[in-house]
Amino acid sequence: MDQLEHGRDGPSKPQPPQKNAYARLVQQHHSPRFKAFLHHIAEIMQLGGGTGEDPSVENDCPLRRAVREDLESNELNAKECSDKPAFQRAPKRKGASDIGRKMPAESNNQQRRRRDPGISQEEDFDLEEESIMSKKLGLIIVADAAGGRVVYNYTKQGSDFQKPYGLSEQKEQECVKVKQKKKNMGVYNLEKDKLLSGKFTKDHFLPNSLNLGYSYSDKIQGGNKRGFARMRNNSESARPAPSCERKRQLSESQVETRSSTDCGLKARQLEAPRGGTYASSPASEKKKNHRKSNRGRKRTVFETYMSKSDVSDGLKRGELIQGALRINPKRFHEAFIPSPDGTRDIFIDGVVARNRALNGDIVVVKLLPKEQWKVVKTAGSDREPEVGHDPVDDPDVIIEAQFDDSGVEEGQAGLPALLLDNVKKLSISINENANNTCSDSAQISNRKNTLKANDPRGFPETFLQRTAKVVYILEKKHSRAATGFIKPLTDKNSELSKRCAMFSPVDHRLPRVYVPLMDCPDTFVGRPEDYLNTIFICRIVEWKEDSNFATGHLAKSLGQAGEIEPETEGILTEYGVDFSDFSEAALECLSQSLPWTIPPEEFQKRRDLRKECVFTIDPATARDLDDALSCKPLPDGNFEVGVHIADVSYFLQEGTVLDEVASQRATSVYLVQKVVPMLPRLLCEELCSLNPMTDKLTFSVIWKLTPAGKILDEWFGRSIIRSCVKLNYDCAQSMIESPDKQFSPEEMPPIFPEHPLEEVHQAILNLHRIAKALRKQRFDGGALRLDQLKLSFTLDKDSGMPQGCYIYQYRDSNKLVEEFMLLANMAVAHKIFRSFQGQALLRRHPPPQTKMLEDLMEFCEQMGLNIDFSSAGTLHKSLNEAIGTDKYAVARREVMTHMCSRPMQMALYFCTGLLNDEAQFRHYALNVPLYTHFTSPIRRFPDVIVHRLLAAAIGCGRPVTLSAADIQKHADHCNDRKMASKRVQELSTELFFSVLVKESGPLESEGMVMGVLNESFDVLVLNYGVHKRVYCNALPLLDYRFTKVGKKPELTLIWEPETPEQEAIHQVISVFSLVEVVLKSENVPLKYSAILKRPGEVPME
């Protein structure tokens, strides 16, 4: 409207300066290199206010000359094609706001109209509208379907378009008519445009053209109106700098789902997944008509869930698939569920396709059409793109949209800014690009042919990864709790900002959450800056279909980010670990009279082993001692060996309040500085713990074994023991390493006088010899062990802060205990399965995922590694042979273990009555038909159930009352809690190591490369056993080149010379390369980065 008045009555009143996309971008990104690059691009694209008529500007741009010549050859007047840079190089560079003021009133008005939620969705910004708008501004934007663009400032003699801005009413109306035709995405057909008198048939790419990552389509996939602002480069360069991860603004997971009422953009439909090649999916007339009929209505962001009955029917018919959702923590737009047939995981692309499901949820998905599946390997080629990565030769820019966080309900929005980030080179060779323009038509033709050749419908399914969308959440496994930070909404004048604040989770896989201001601290509204570094716990309550953000409430303020205790509490809460005190009702289930004594009737029911030489071997800091060993020589040369386990089921009666609490906790959680116990400390440290010189109730398995480890006889039963000594692993190791040494009492813990130290020493040696024989039998029989390095810490006794760390050594004393615990678990598994074939609680380990294993085999072949994956046993043997015996053998083993762990599946508890095929009972890694957990009832609830089953099996306990379905329910819950416990333990280790780097760093170490990507590589830091990613763009490099021969990736780093006289240093990075790294703490809490040292650099003092 303003523009029409301008055409009739002359210039309208000056409009308030409106920041355009470029101005907002420069304002948000302050890097000088980044600004310089954007100015350079702006000059080429002529997005500024110059008319091109200033003769003072030299006509020296080869690309523009080529463009002008080409325009003339196509009957367009190019005489007045501007060579003037859009943004003049003044002595002092103009700020972003000044640049923003150059946008004319008409353009500003267009932006305001697009922000109006009352305007039809057809008014949203897309590629076609950009072309129309550019005509109004005196520009031609020519784009191919791959996203390449070039902007021409054209003129037509005697027409109004000689003016770069401002149109007559007639021309404005003609532009509107053309716009309403809604032309398809692709090369803009200027020949059909009545506004031009000539023909235009040739396409030009903008230097370093912006690649959308989409295939040809009649319009932007899924009706997405963000144009170039939609796709992001999935290479490692596309990730934000590590130092910025904690100070998150708006993650892509929220950007992807911004609704039309929130940003003036169309809600994104399901589109072809990223990271592969896809076929086009033209919009149907039905969709177009439906969109027109819904103009002005509030659009939903997510699909409505299917009904339970439809889901049930779909699962029965095989039309739907269910599984546990896994979201990639590094690229959180990528999610997967396991394929039921064991082949490649099913890919779920983007937040919209996830449909509000969170990590770990059990979801039901519907497969997308085959043309939307991901091509992961092309026919006739042995090159396979890395999952989640774009091809290596993609442009070194990413394009993403960034918005404010104003509320959906208020309809506040801003046009997306074109964000160009992670630019590897700022210098653009104009001459080179000008020369390339002559072959652009051929490039377009080649792209079309390549696209046709890569149509997923033309490939066999072995080259494809199926894609799907979530249609239902069967079970919300995620706790819906998150740690993060709060801030006010950007639009402080909106009604929503008066009621809510924005909570931003630290975990980018979670949505941002509206939280009531009443949950925030009293001073938050007046002084929000005081809480920038305060961690809060938020619980997600709801996530509606029409909202990009969830709603929830703040549960607690934890304290300052980076401090150990607040961070630990946040980790426990986020993973649903119950660390509260046990209730009075639960504690009343235990005997309160201490010291507790064994009732006399128990001596009549149990085997009395108090006079036997029984002892425990545990970590030095352990207080919950749940297993003990005994070894008595027999006159015939054999041995009576016993494994004695604390009889927790005697104290933990089935059906009590404490039993319910323990079943819900399911496992003890071991942190660096403490343990969150499954059972009250009274039970696990006093009543049940096998403390020395105290009579204790136990469940025992006793064998008669030959010195070679052959089982001659076995016995199961309840017993009473009296441990004579509490040994730690160091003491037991000393005895093993010094078989002839006479240890003094001062060198060992206190020992019960009835059993001299020499007797204990000899029992340890006998057990060690038998354990070695048992171990050899296991691995000869086809067992596999994949050990990963474990980091341990030394803590200050007063402050609890880490003083140092070391890699935990797994030695013969550990192996001794492990062998007999495995033997007991296998024996009990067979015993309870024979007695309760339909109710036994066992533990199975499925074989590796077939497709991932095949990929790993191919990779090892390309790397020259002779690894035999035919069975667990052959894998174990070939791994040992491949790693060698030098000082780096342990490092190579860790790298290989990391590789081989990827296709491995998790071991699972299960009930035998609900799994019909006994072949699926097997434990792949142990290579045994039956296995269970019996030896740790103090810290694992499945062991408690197994104790009850064993007691019923041998006639010394209550009959089994649980049904198969009940046992399976317990098994499923224990699987979930075990995985959560493992993750919490890992995060606790990461927390303490981050604090150690901050307090004691920087830390230097040798490292071994574990994996190579196109712009980064992963390193095993040998001194500390941690894995860290090194980014090429953080190094002082002239350049770096990624190459791939088959599956073998290499990065060549070209280091900048330190002095002009030196030559550039070339360093080749590949798997198993040895490098020197420095670990440095960042300004963001708990973040540290790994920096590669320059080859030949002198170590720090």
Give 710's pLDDT tier (boundaries 50, 70, 90): very high
Residue 58 confidence (pLDDT):
41
**Percent of the chain beyond pLDDT 70?**
65
Residue 74 confidence (pLDDT):
47
pLDDT digits (tens, 9 = 90+) for 516-531: 999 999 999 999 999 9
CA torsion sign, 229 to 232 to 233 to 237?
positive
Residue corresponding to tokens 């089953």: 949
Give 114's pLDDT tier (boundaries 50, 70, 90): very low
What is the spatial distance between Cα 911 and Cα 932, in angstroms, rounded to a whole number?
11
Residue 43 confidence (pLDDT):
62
pLDDT digits (tens, 9 = 90+) for 41-94: 666 655 444 444 444 344 445 445 554 554 454 444 444 444 443 334 434 443
Residue 860 confidence (pLDDT):
86
Q: At what angle do helices 105-115 and 127-136 cross, to 10 degrees?
A: 150
pLDDT digits (tens, 9 = 90+) for 193-221: 333 333 333 333 333 333 333 333 333 33
pTM of the model: 0.69
> 885: alpha, beta or left, given left = phi > 0 and alpha = psi -120 to 50?
alpha
451, pLDDT greater than 70: no
Give 295's pLDDT tier (boundaries 50, 70, 90): low
Closest CA relative to residue 136, chosen from 106, 181, 156, 114: 106
- Looking at every residue in the chain, the average pLDDT score rounds to 74
Q: What average pLDDT does range 476-487 have in this prediction?
A: 93
Full DSSP string of 855-923: HHHHHHHHHT-----SSHHHHHHHHHHHH-SSTTHHHHHHHHHHHHHTTPPPPEEEEGGG---GGGG-B
Q: What average pLDDT does range 688-714 have in this prediction?
A: 95
pLDDT digits (tens, 9 = 90+) for 646-685: 999 999 999 999 999 999 999 999 999 999 999 999 999 9
SS3 1089: strand
What is the spatial distance between Cα 471 and Cα 499, in angstroms, rounded to a whole number?
32
CA torsion sign, 562 to 564 to 565 to 567?
positive
Residue 65 confidence (pLDDT):
54
pLDDT digits (tens, 9 = 90+) for 890-915: 888 888 888 888 889 899 999 999 99
Closest CA relative to residue 35, chosen from 110, 89, 112, 107: 89
Return the minimum-mean-pLDDT range out of 124-128, 507-511, 925-929, 1004-1008. 124-128
Cα angle 568, 572, 574; round to 5: 115
Q: At what angle do helices 657-665 and 964-1000 cross, to 10 degrees?
A: 60
Position 989: which residue type? T
239, pLDDT greater than 50: no
What is the spatial distance between Cα 44 and Cα 55, in angstroms, rounded to a whole number?
17
Residue 44 confidence (pLDDT):
62
153, pLDDT greater than 70: no
Give 380's pLDDT tier (boundaries 50, 70, 90): very low
Residue 852 confidence (pLDDT):
83
Highest mean pLDDT among 96-110, 574-588, 740-754, 877-891: 574-588
User: Half-sphere exposure (CA, 13 Å, Cβ side) for 62?
Assistant: 12
639, pLDDT greater than 80: yes
Return the minimum-mean-pLDDT range out of 12-26, 95-109, 705-719, 863-877. 95-109
Residue 245 confidence (pLDDT):
42
304, pLDDT greater than 60: yes
The tokens describing 741, both together, are 């040494």
Question: What is the distance, to the nearest Å, from the Cα of residue 962 to the centroid of all Cα atoms in its chain?
Answer: 38
Residue 442 confidence (pLDDT):
52
pLDDT digits (tens, 9 = 90+) for 990-1030: 999 999 999 997 999 999 999 898 899 999 999 998 999 99
Residue 493 confidence (pLDDT):
85
Q: Which residues of 990-1025 are buried (b: 16+ CB within 10 A; e: fewer)?
A: bbbbbbbbbeeeebebbbbbbbbbbbbbbbbbbebb
Residue 581 confidence (pLDDT):
94
Q: What average pLDDT does range 254-282 have in this prediction?
A: 38
pLDDT digits (tens, 9 = 90+) for 524-551: 999 999 999 999 999 999 999 999 999 9
The tokens describing 165, both together, are 């801005």
Q: What average pLDDT does range 384-398 have in this prediction?
A: 30
251, pLDDT greater than 90: no
The tokens describing 788, both together, are 């990963």
pLDDT digits (tens, 9 = 90+) for 851-887: 888 888 888 888 888 888 989 999 999 988 888 788 8
> Which CA distances in Å does 628 have to 28, 59, 642, 652?
63, 88, 8, 20
Residue 605 confidence (pLDDT):
92
769, pLDDT greater than 60: yes
Residue 138 confidence (pLDDT):
44
Residue corresponding to tokens 């440290």: 685
Residue 359 confidence (pLDDT):
93
Q: Is the peptide bond before 745 cis (omega within 30 degrees of 0)?
A: no
Cβ neighbors of 945 (< 8 A, separation 6 or more) are 841, 962, 967, 970
Residue 45 confidence (pLDDT):
57
Residue 386 confidence (pLDDT):
36
